[in-house]
A and B are shown apart, each in its own frame.
Chain A
Amino acid sequence: MNGWTGNILRVNLTAKTYKKETFSEEFARTWIGGRGFAVKILYDELQPGIDPLGPENKLIVALGPIAGIPAPNTGKAVVAAKSPLTGFYGDGNLGTRVSEQLRKAGYDAMIVEGKAEGPTMLYIEDDKVEFLPAGEVWGKGTYATNDWIYAKYGKGVGVLNIGQGGENMVRYAVVRSLEGRSGGRPGMGAVMGSKLLKALVVKGTRPIPQADPQAMKALGFGDLKTVGQIDKETGWSIQGTDAILAWCNEVAGLPVRNFRKTRHADAWKIDGERVNAARVATYGCPNCTMRCGITIHDREGRESELDYENVGLLGSNLEIFDLDQVGSLNYLCDEYGIDTMSAGCALSFYADAIDHGATKGDFKFGDAERAKELLGLAARREGKLGNLLADGSLRMAREFGHGSEAYAMQVKGLDVAAYNCKFIPGQALAFGVAAIGAHHREAWIITFELKNTTRDSYGPEKAAKVIELQRIRGGMFEFLVACRFPWIELGWPLDNYPKYFNAATGLNWTLEDMWKVADRIYALIKLHYLREFPQASRKDDYPPAVWFDKSNVDTEGPIAGKCLDLGKYDRLLQHYYDQRGYDERGIPTKELLNKLGLSKEAAAAEKCAKLSERTSQPQAAR
């Protein structure tokens, strides 16, 4: 089977056993890899209702047919599990050498089951798996843990690890890899921690199976150069993603003060120009010639890698406009191994809840020193406050009451990324219907909305754009597995990806074939959701209520007096459902599921909740 190793490594931490399992060609072609493998395995193997932090949850590390090969931005891996933050399927991708090393070791994915007796590190080298004690670094942060691993095995190995946040099961703890970044926002690090799995180290020595290795080599090295060249010519990585902060501030799309405001006069102090000027070093994931990571010195003199989401949610949204202090908050999140976005939203929600009398406390917007202490309390789950913060904004709101859930900035429990959609309906929809909660990775349509449509329109073209991007960003890039930046930021043509896929597998696929897999994945994630939440309703696809709140409108600037309209949003949501072939609850119909080859999965879902036969609307051509 070209393009795939055909093997999955299954490790049981309770029994300290492992086995190499094979998968069929049909499984490979139906789910491709990465997110596709993860969603299918977890759907088949997890019982609905299990505790995401119990030993019965499974952690998946999944790669795809172009993961790890020397070609543009292929050094990524998907990590997935039932999420302790959202209660259903959750995943994320991160830059890591595990991508290449696990495939060289002979696997396209691994499944980690059970719970270890004590802190454990898994060492995988080709067919060998060792269960090693990790007590020495339990309680340590991700930087120290990574150093400890490198000292043992050298820097060539692939590493995934967790910090104190994962150990203490902070619901938004991430998996970290110093070879890239962090991944698994919906608590994949907490799942590792719940299994007492501190780290996973992989070394592989075999070639990655490819149909045409020569063609792949020629393509790959040439394109790595091309992408690097385009980046240089366009200057994209001078500021990388940080450039967008200044733009969001101009168009009233920046999160400020727990998303209550959309702009701030001091935003320039933390914008891409300032980040670039403070640059200490540049980082990139494996196989990347764009290298978007910019590090700066934080207030304590440590190197901290900033990108837009971190600066937006730990900076402007907390009204902290000292770049080095934002660097410190970001460093702490990375060191503790917690998601910078959800951590930022938990803190901003807390400050807002105090402001609005929903709770009492001593934290105010702009207080960077107290924010640092609070991150520590959350990562250690220290005291009542630490535990509250560690559970994330939605659970805090449910505890505080007083209507505070309206301004817990999340969808399905996952906190909103750093785009303030108070008056950007299409992007609000993109957050509302993102597969795993409000993640920006799946669809981002703000420039499309502003340039090609009117900002206050709620027409079907916005729903169509969200679907188009979900297929590409949340679908293809997540199952192949590769970083989307060469295409989204540099405009490197999308049809390069089927070319790589075909050179790897010997198949002859087009982008259209990719979209079918993407639709299948989106439908199956929805079934995961339905199994966990049989009462699922379209309201679950609404963005935070505060964006519809007329008393929360901007008083000046480009969107003064404006906010989202609930009735119109609901109609936009219906456009999305109609085009997707989902029913009124936002659940795929049996007709669609059969078409996607998911009738078995549909039957499994019907044990928990009823599926609609078909929609009353004609389905969009697919």
Chain B
Amino acid sequence: MKITVKLIGPLIYEAGFSEKAITLPGSVTAGALVARIKIDKKRPTIITRNGASVELSDILEDGDRVVISHIYSGG
């Protein structure tokens, strides 16, 4: 299945990309997807799928757009 990953803010420079499509075999959790991306896992993040927050244990679906962001506090 194909998932689009979009990173926000400083994560872009840490992981070395801003947005890319990733092809994954079979069903994968949000946590497994995050594990494949080169970002500091201790950093507090908010992960959304198609605009709504997801848990790391949630199973992703083909065509999902996953956005990983540092937790912002609205300036």
Contacts and interface: CB of A to CB of B under 8 A. Distances in A.
A152 interface: no
Interface residues of B, number: 25
A568 B75 CA distance: 27
A246 B51 contact: no
B10 A251 contact: no
Given A244-B72, A244-B74, A450-B46, A250 B6 contact: yes
B9 A419 contact: no
Chain B CB count within 10 A is highest, among A309, A440, A558, for A558
Contact of A238 (B13, B53, B74): B13
Given A450-B48, A451-B46, A558-B50, A234 B8 contact: no
A33 B67 CA distance: 41
Nearest to B74: A444
A455 interface: yes
A54 interface: no
Interface string B4-41: 00101110111000100000000000000000000000
Contacts of B10: 234-236, 238-239, 243
A75 B18 CA distance: 34
A159 interface: no
A247 interface: yes
Contact of B74 (A236, A273, A446, A557): A446
Given A234-B43, A243-B10, A273-B12, A557 B75 contact: no
Counting contact residues on chain A (CB < 8 A from B), the size range is 20 to 34
Contacts of B69: 243, 247
A455 B52 contact: yes
B48 A243 contact: no
Nearest to A446: B74
A42 B7 CA distance: 46
A272 B51 contact: no
A447 B71 contact: yes
Given A557-B51, A558-B51, A243 B9 contact: yes
Contacts of A234: 10, 43, 70
B14 to A, nearest CB: 7
A557 B50 CA distance: 8
B57 interface: no
A440 B73 CA distance: 10
A241 interface: yes
B13 A235 contact: yes
Interface in A69-115: none
Chain A CB count within 10 A is highest, among B6, B50, B70, for B70
Contact of B51 (A238, A419, A489, A559): A559
Nearest to A307: B75
A558 B64 CA distance: 12
A609 to B, nearest CB: 33
A243 B70 contact: yes
A497 interface: no
Given A236-B10, A239-B9, A251 B48 contact: yes
Contact of A489 (B6, B14, B65, B72): B72
A253 to B, nearest CB: 9
A247 B8 contact: yes
A561 interface: no
Contacts of A273: 12, 18
A308 interface: yes
Contact of A447 (B43, B51, B67, B73): B73
Contacts of B18: 273
Contact of A244 (B14, B44, B75): B75
A279 to B, nearest CB: 13
B67 to A, nearest CB: 5
29 contacts: A235-B14, A238-B10, A239-B10, A241-B75, A243-B9, A243-B69, A243-B70, A244-B72, A244-B75, A246-B6, A247-B8, A247-B67, A250-B65, A251-B48, A251-B67, A252-B51, A272-B8, A273-B12, A308-B75, A309-B75, A444-B74, A444-B75, A447-B71, A447-B72, A450-B46, A451-B71, A485-B75, A488-B73, A488-B75
Given A243-B69, A273-B18, 5 more contacts: A238-B10, A241-B75, A250-B65, A250-B67, A558-B50
Q: Which 10 A-B pairs have the closest CB atoms?
A: A558-B51, A444-B74, A243-B9, A235-B10, A488-B73, A241-B75, A450-B53, A250-B67, A247-B8, A247-B69
Interface of A: 234-236, 238-239, 241, 243-244, 246-247, 250-252, 272-273, 307-309, 419, 440, 444, 446-447, 450-451, 455, 485, 488-489, 491, 557-559
